[in-house]
Amino acid sequence: MNNRQQFFVHVDLGGASPVVAGFHEFDSRTNIGTFIYGRSYCENPNAFALDPINLPLIYEKHFQLRSTRINSFAIPGVILDGGPDEWGRRLLNRFSEDIPITPADYLVMGSGYGVGALYFSDSPEQPAQTAQADNPDINQLYQSILAFDSAETVNKNLQHLLMPSSGIGGARPKTHVLYENRPYIAKFNRRDDPFDNALAEYCMMKIAQKAGIGCANVKLVSTQEGNTILVERFDNPQRQNSQPRRHMISINALMNIQDIPDLENASYDRIVTLGKKIGRENNINAEVFKRMLFNIAIGNTDDHTRNHAFLKNTHDRNYALSPAYDLISLPIRIGSHAMNIGPFGQTPTLENIRSAGRLMGLDNEQQAKCAQSIVDNLQNLKTTLCQFNMLERDIDYLMPCFRYAELASSLCEIELRLD
């Protein structure tokens, strides 16, 4: 049985194996967690700060956090990004010989299961690296997923295929796969899903791409058990030509969200502010505004701070907004988003959207231009969803999610009146 209080953090810099970057220790007497970079890492010419805002690359500096309700081991957010998500923790709880207890246990035991370039271990030696399912039988994999999710017995020969699970994806059933020689995250439906979740996400991702939003590439695979969506891993170049996995930081980490009250300050315009601090993208304000407006239009209310991220550039220490992921209509909490739309809170109103746009530096004309591409691609939505072979009952179930799509049209109409 495990009860880790400390662990080493490793980074994939493109060599034969990840290099040790630092060390984290939690003091249960003081409830303080401390992270410190290692000397060899700081002296490495390829080294970079794991979090350029909250963990700048400074040798011998002790970065300390106090334990909170949502961060019981006071671990920096960027490190938690690299660990297994809720689904991955469920897998570890069931299949590991030693039951994980502490957050450090999950990081070390799940090292390599997360997204991004971080690995974790009990020593400064080379960390364990996990394999993804190599060109698997998706139907067989789907059967194992359903069995696990229903607490049924899973074939021991297939258990290793289930273990890899993304770090920034929540509780949905998923695993990493190498499909047609490309790395993907395979996401599956559950038996009790009220609609075809995989197909719905595939539809929204494809519509977002047509609307000019930067999205991860997706495939839809049909099996005897149902549909599976494959989301291409933008953090993993398969180590071709010794290219490292790309370092990834969630908005949750960059905003340094350590406790529940911190979530109240999370907003879309802060994504733009953070992007300008750590990157050089000229159009980040328009891209974030379009993503915000698209989430409102399709009713993606699960747009929390871990569903937005930045990727480190491969050629320098700057960051760029990652492709969009987890875009799906959700018929729950309609009209109340997980993150603030603008200065008037989480509710999508025209005033709140326009105010958010202004905070991002967009005038009425620029906001309308962003909105128009979304309006154009959400017209005749029922027909579009039918073309994706979505069942009529699922379309009817999801239609209430689109009740705020008219706000995008209103932005365009305001600009026309001003003209």
**Is 80 exceeded by the pLDDT of residue 180?**
yes
- Residue 107: what are its φ and ψ, rounded to 5°? -65, -50
Domain membership of residue 410 (yes or no) is yes
Query: Where is average pLDDT lowest: 142-146, 192-196, 207-211?
Result: 142-146
The tally of domains found in the chain comes to 1
What are the pLDDT digits (tens) for 270-311? 999 999 999 988 899 999 999 999 999 999 999 999 999 999
**360 token code pair:** 């991002």
- At 107 the three-state DSSP class reads helix
Averaged pLDDT, 191-216: 97
- Which of 38-47, 233-242, 402-411 has the lowest average pLDDT? 233-242
Q: Is the pLDDT confidence value at 260 over 90?
A: no
Averaged pLDDT for residues 205-230: 96
The pLDDT confidence band at residue 406, using thresholds 50, 70 and 90, is very high
d(CA 10, CA 408): 44
Report the share of the chain in percent with pLDDT over 90.
72
Q: What is the rounded CA–CA span in Å between residue 397 and residue 189?
A: 16
Can you tell me the distance from the alpha carbon of 181 to that of 189, in angstroms, rounded to the nearest whole number? 23
CB-based contact 359:342 (threshold 8 Å): yes
- The pTM is what? 0.93
Sign of the Cα torsion 142, 147, 149, 153 reads: negative
pLDDT tens by residue, 225-247:
999 999 999 998 765 555 788 99
Residue 321 placed within a domain: yes
The answer to the question of residue 277 being in a domain is yes
Distance CA 401, CA 173 (A): 23
Residue 300, domain extent? 246-418
Return the closest-CA partner of residue 158 out of 180, 142, 182.
142
- Tell me the helix, strand and coil percentages in the chain, rounded to 5: 35, 15, 45
| CATH code of the domain covering residue 399 | 1.10.1070.20
pLDDT band at 139 (very low <50, low <70, confident <90, very high): confident
Exposed, middle or buried, 260 (CB in 10 Å: 0-12/13-18/19+)?
Answer: exposed
Sheet with 319-321: strands ordered across: 248-250, 309-312, 319-321
> Residue 143 domain-assigned?
no
pLDDT of 126 reads 74
Partners of 119 in the β-ladder: 10
- 363 falls within a domain: yes
Reported as a pLDDT band with limits 50, 70 and 90, residue 258 is very high
pLDDT band (50, 70, 90) for residue 134: low
Strands of 182-188's sheet, edge to edge?
133-134, 174-179, 182-188, 227-232, 218-222
Burial 36-45 (b: 16+ CB within 10 A, else e): bbbeebeebe
Among 15-29, 58-72, 114-128, 266-280, the least confident range: 114-128
Examine residue 346 and state whether it is found in any structural domain, yes or no: yes
Q: Which residues contact 356 (CB under 8 A, 6 or more apart)?
A: 267, 268, 269, 289, 292, 341, 342, 343
Residue 65 within any structural domain of the chain: no
Q: Does 5 fall in a domain?
A: no
pLDDT above 60: residue 248: yes
